[in-house]
Structure 1
Amino acid sequence: MSASLNIVILGGSGFIGRHLSNRLLRSGHSVKVYGREAFKSPQVLSERVCGCDLLIMLAGANVGQRWTKAHKQALWDSRIQTNQMLQSALQLCEHPPQRIFSASAIGIYPESDCTHPVDESCEQVGDNVLGQLGADWEVASRALQPKPVIFRFGVVLGLDGGALPKMLPAFKLGLGGPVAGGHQCFSWIHIEDLVNAFEFALAHPQMEGVYNVTSPNPVSNREFGQVLASTLQRPFWLPLPEWQLKLMFGEGAQVLTHSAAVLPTRLEQSGFRFQYPQVSAALQNLLKPA
């Protein structure tokens, strides 16, 4: 890790990309971040990625909003078509990237409750839109050369993006409560641990295949909400039923009702240690007074 590397992040202008690029820059690496403009053509994309030491592929439309017909198509296009174009671009490279890290998500797994978690050994795919999206996404990622390390993200917790800022206004007003009954399992990861996992993989070139990037301690939606309310010193009482979620998000409500108990077995077996393995410590860190 002492040598400075040339790193390219595609789809890196969002929440996760900002944190990754800032950390890698502080670690002394050269980092170039590109958004949609890099995907004008395979030739343009090739000019951006050829010759780098590490390519990080994060491109993908946000699942956490109302799923119109157009947005559902964008969920697929922003993952599948971008990877297909990247595959073509890499074939044009005289000097392709030495390594590739690709994003995926734990929605690929079948639903599971907190007492029956799954890990990377689970080869089943969820029988829903999230499962099919994840499966198609990873097929497109695996076609890349060199073969990427695939990181399946849980719900990423941070203050400047992701799910937490959307929850905070209601909870700060004392209007927090269980979502759709609150029994569904919630697999999460502190943004600092996610970034740490990328740096860990960068320092361990022997890592390959799929890694779950989630805390080793998933919790129910109810428990997460109770800890969040307690951290903010607010009550936890107002339930948000599933029918209201469907009014707000349509088919996209399944992002909030999907029960995913996922463990980072391969990451821990590789020697990675979490800075925030418990949700209480993670939320206290994020929400402590400045």
Structure 2
Amino acid sequence: MKIVILGGTGFVGRHLSRHLTEQGHQVTAQGRSAFKDLDHLTQLIDNQDVVIQLAGANIGERWNEAYKRELYDSRIATSELLQKALAKANTPPERILAASAIGIYPQRPCGQPLDERCTDVDPGFLGHLGQAWEAANAQLTPAPLIMRFGVVLGLDGGALAKMLPAFRLGGGGPVAGGQQCFSWIHIDDLVAAISWALGQPTLSGAINFCAPEPLTQAAFGRTLAHALGRPFWLPMPEVALKILFGEGAQVLTHSSCVVPTRLTELGFKFTYPNATSAIKHLVSRA
């Protein structure tokens, strides 16, 4: 297929572009420059079989009011421009896959999982951002498959890449008490799941792209420390997180117990279904 990935130069986009190219697809990966104007975006998507919309500023940064606006605009404004480009294209794509995130779900402790049947939205900023993002994508034609990503684990981007330096130095420990639930996915499983979804032309609605075994942040940290042969002892209190990340600290304190019911029921097989296997594989490559 001819596939254009918008937001294709970021962490997930780089891996996905390489994977789909290896699968024999003709892939065009574009960063933020794809959205410089309507005509440019229209030319990019015209005569493509699939558009994969991944565009969005990094959620794991320090937030202030200006950055919160960037988080919003880089998701909602880009999807609104994509809607106009789709309407203008001579030969628009037959399918659209659009990213979202599990932060849209209400917070739950581990042991109380939520899946795609949940229609409630978290009342905080992450929930409202996800709701607005998905509402913007719902206006696209054809109707997109909504991919709700968990925390993506890889060595060259995302949360794990930020955690590894401190853990290697023996500075790992529970964050804000460590009892918040952590729903994640190995980058290899994520790109494999997206590739698998491309082969399921009747898929629609929202699907959770996260591993089937969420765990507490403390349990995840202990698993990582053990894999590195380092101690797990230095706590990071919530007040310190707020000093470092401002309101963005909620990304680390948000408790997401989310499972991929639709993926598993439809037959997708995870290579790394639990944190031990995922971390062992990643650390062995570090």
TM-score range, shorter chain: over 0.9
| Counterpart position of 1:77 | 73
Separation in 2 of the partners of 1:136 and 1:157?
Answer: 25
1:289 CA drift (Å): 5.2
Sequence identity of aligned pairs in percent?
56
RMSD: 0.8
Q: How is 1:199-238 mapped onto 2 (pairs within 5 angstroms)?
A: 199-238=195-234
| Counterpart position of 2:104 | 108
| Counterpart position of 1:143 | 139
Separation in 2 of the partners of 1:131 and 1:137?
Answer: 10
Separation in 2 of the partners of 1:223 and 1:174?
Answer: 16
* SS of residue in 2 equivalent to 1:163: helix
Separation in 2 of the partners of 1:37 and 1:225?
Answer: 37
| Counterpart position of 1:174 | 170
Separation in 2 of the partners of 1:194 and 1:282?
Answer: 12
1:15 CA drift (Å): 0.5
1:68 CA drift (Å): 1.6
Separation in 1 of the partners of 2:215 and 2:172?
Answer: 17
From 180, 187, 191, the counterpart of 1:195: 191
Separation in 2 of the partners of 1:35 and 1:167?
Answer: 25
If the length of structure 2 is used for normalisation, what is the TM-score? 0.99
Residue 28 of structure 1 aligns with an amino acid whose one-letter code is G
1:70 CA drift (Å): 1.1
From 1, 9, 13, the counterpart of 2:9: 13
Deviations 1:228-283 (A, max 9, x none): 00000000001000000000000000000000000000111111110100100000
Deviations 1:123-173 (A, max 9, x none): 000010000000000000010000000100000000010010110111111
Separation in 1 of the partners of 2:71 and 2:133?
Answer: 10
From 247, 255, 262, the counterpart of 1:259: 255
* SS of residue in 1 equivalent to 2:29: strand
1:83 CA drift (Å): 0.3
Residue 186 of structure 1 aligns with an amino acid whose one-letter code is F
* SS of residue in 1 equivalent to 2:271: coil
1:37 CA drift (Å): 1.4
| Counterpart position of 2:282 | 286
Separation in 1 of the partners of 2:178 and 2:260?
Answer: 23
Shift of the 264–223 alpha-carbon distance from structure 1 to 2, 3 Å rule, reads same
1:204 CA drift (Å): 1.1
Q: How is 1:83-162 mapped onto 2 (pairs within 5 angstroms)?
A: 83-162=79-158
1:35 CA drift (Å): 1.3
Separation in 1 of the partners of 2:238 and 2:69?
Answer: 24
Separation in 1 of the partners of 2:216 and 2:166?
Answer: 19
From 218, 235, 241, the counterpart of 1:239: 235
Deviations 1:213-232 (A, max 9, x none): 00000000010000000000
If the length of structure 1 is used for normalisation, what is the TM-score? 0.97
State whether structure 2 residue 33 is matched by structure 1 residue 37. Answer: yes
| Runs of at least 5 residues in structure 1 that lack an aligned partner in the other structure | none
4+ long deviations beyond 6 Å: none
Separation in 2 of the partners of 1:34 and 1:199?
Answer: 18
* SS of residue in 2 equivalent to 1:75: helix
Residue 172 of structure 1 aligns with an amino acid whose one-letter code is R
Residue 179 of structure 1 aligns with an amino acid whose one-letter code is V
Separation in 1 of the partners of 2:170 and 2:190?
Answer: 29
